[in-house]
Structure 1
Amino acid sequence: MSKQANPAVIGGFVLGALVIFVGALIVFGSGALLRERIALVTFFPGSVQGLNIGAQVQFQGVPIGQITGIGLNYLPDTNNFRVPVRYDIWPKNIAVLGGVGQTNPRAVIRQLVKQEGLRARLQSISVVTGQYVVSLNLNPQLPAQPEEQDYQDAIQVPAIEATRDRMEDLLATLPLNDLVEKTTGTLDAIYDLFSSGKIDRSVESLDATLTQAHLALQTLNHDLKPLLDSLQQVLTNTNELSVTARENIEQIAPALTSAAENTATLTANLQRDWAPLKASAQAALTQGTKTLAALDSLVASDSPTRYQLDQLLRETTEAARSIRTLADYLERHPEALLSGKSGARAR
């Protein structure tokens, strides 16, 4: 007959297993079952592929929670679907610094959503696996948004379009067919170019050009040395000329200084003697002006002196004419000097 099991022993084993299980949950779950949490929800506009339950929720790259549920809602009024993503954040992971008193974490989150632009976005953590997390960030540049009603006791956090969604929208607007055709045409043109042998001929021409350039550089290097030597000699001569000119300037500098001093003295003397000389010249000029005025009055057409001079000139002219007539007569009748004019006529 088999021995009956002791219920106390069985109960002890069961109780021990429960204690071990709870301890394992506390140790390996980092106290997730016992920690304080705040339920949030975000309705993402695009696909949430790559986001799994248990994925992290990060704030500026710091883990502060995890995804707890991903659902799908149908809206008959608009005939659309929406994807609610539920996640919890752990207030104990956020240290409050400063002299802030006791605050309600839920009220703080509502204020951040309404006034500071708290938004949720899907962010890739691995391009290889395609996994995503929910990233929370503040966007104070966004306009204030009215507070949304809670969704099943979860605070609504508005979503920002993910980079993946923007890329998909961009790709949807790109004319991919045209791009493929143009790319194919470009590749065909490149293939034809290489097949035609033009590239080989261009490479050969370039090689010949480089060879000629190398020869030209060698020739230039050969001819450049004498030119540099000549230039060096010119610079040396110029330096010697500068030294000689400096020495000559130093020698004639005293003479130039003396000449400048003499010029200054002469200028001072001229300035000193200029005043009396100017007065004498002014007096002479005044006297000359008066003399010219007197002469002008003498030779004026209506002056007595001018009349007398004219009369004298007429009388002198008549006397000269009479003398000339007498001279002509005596030349014809020289005997008139002895017998007179009447005797000359009797003959």
Structure 2
Amino acid sequence: MARPPDSPPPDLPDALAVPRARWRVQWIWLVPLVAVLIGAWLAARTILEQGPTITISFKTGEGLEAGKTKIKFKDVDIGVVKTVALSKDFSHVIATAELTPDASSMLRDDTRFWVVRPRVSGGTVSGISTLLSGAYIGMDIGKKKNERRDFVGLETPPVFASDVPGREYVLKSEDLGSVDVGSPIYFRRLQVGQVTAYELDPNGRGVTMRVFVNAPYDRFVTADTRFWHASGVDVSLSTEGVKVNTQSLVSILIGGLAFQSVPGAPDEPPAPAHTSFQLFSDRTEAMKMHDRIVETYVFNFKESVRGLVVGAPVEFRGIQIGEVEAIHTRFDPDTRQFSIPVQIKLYPERFTSRYENEPRGGRLARSPREMADFLVSRGMRGQLKTGSLITGQLYIALDFFPNAPKAEVDWDRKPPELPTVPSGLQSLQESVSELMVRMNKIPFEAIGKNAQRTLARADTLLQSFDTQLVPQASDALTAARTTLNSANSALQPDSALQQDTADAIRELSRTASALRSLAEYLERHPEALIRGKAEDGK
């Protein structure tokens, strides 16, 4: 029904002002929001799944390619090289590599990296597969607990992995010989290890080698084990003939080492890892008796020592008790003379006294000084002798010389000085020299003049003999010949002298017979000397 015009309007509610919202959710924005969330999740997942990044420095970048060169452990890919760049000083190459997340625990302080490429070392060939696949970086996990991210790569691959059972040892030698990294090590002609590394000593006087002996052979390396060079062929001549010893054909071509304990040595526990041993030149030298007590002395010779070399033996009646260590020269300002001091190493344990019921011998004295004084007081001296007439090599012989002048050990010198006696040849030379001195004192010129005068007198005498005595001697010889002829005539059987002599002999025979008859008669009748001979019949 329509409202009348003049009627008042109805009461209406008051209008309220409602503010308009400034932002409204639009469904169109949900799509990019979801995309952002997915991207963030993917980025977070990528970051979480990303492995560690490391740097490895090498001397050269040979075989390294960014994005291609792999890092492998036990032939399993664990990373890839991302960049290869020079160092700031241009001295080496730095390779940046990204590893898998699982490799984080492998990055120890002593983890090793090296480039695997074709190599020939120590008679072994490695890395042949890289000729087709290309070089890659090898890895060996360390054993230390500290982690690191920057490493220095090895220029040569390690001979053995860190997880290979066995022990590593240190060998000290005067020179390297024909040994190289990877050279074999033999035990009773079985290959049981390899040479892992070598380096020159800081003082330049020797070489230090590191060798690895595989298990279970490492238990045969004890404190009394001897190592020696097994390279080449060892030829020896004995009463049994010629002997040729070698470890193997490989050791002849590329060299090698060998070890063995001294025969008869007691059983000992295995030597700890990194134990140091001396490396000998051959098996004979290695198996020699090496004394624990070594004393140093000096022999001062005043004669030539040509033929005496370092290492020459010092013997006591054919038994080696030491060796020559050094040969020097000395000038005495007081006497203005030169001498040759020879320094030796003496092994006092070899001066032992063994008895029939004693298993071990003992030293002659308690102290080295007491022993040296004891021996020298009884005439022990050092003397040079010839060991070989062919080579002229000399050696020092210790022996007792009762007639040698009295001497004492000079303990004031360091090392102490032992007395010496001249060698047999030197004594002969001295005798000849003394004889020559005496002969030089003989006045041969005066003797010659006297001899000339004597010869002149003899010549004069001979001349007068020819002129005076010869005719007289001829007359005397003629008279003597005449006398001999007369005597010869008188001695003929039919000569008067011979007849008279025969008659006289017959008369003497008859006289002797008569005297014999008279003696027999007087023996029967001794009274006849007083009364006379009795008449017949009375």
TM surpasses 0.5: no
The higher-RCO structure (CA 8 Å, 6+ apart) is 1
Higher normalized strand content (fraction of residues): 2
Bigger Rg, structure 1 or 2: 1
TM-score by length of 2: 0.30
TM-score by length of 1: 0.44
Higher normalized helix content (fraction of residues): 1
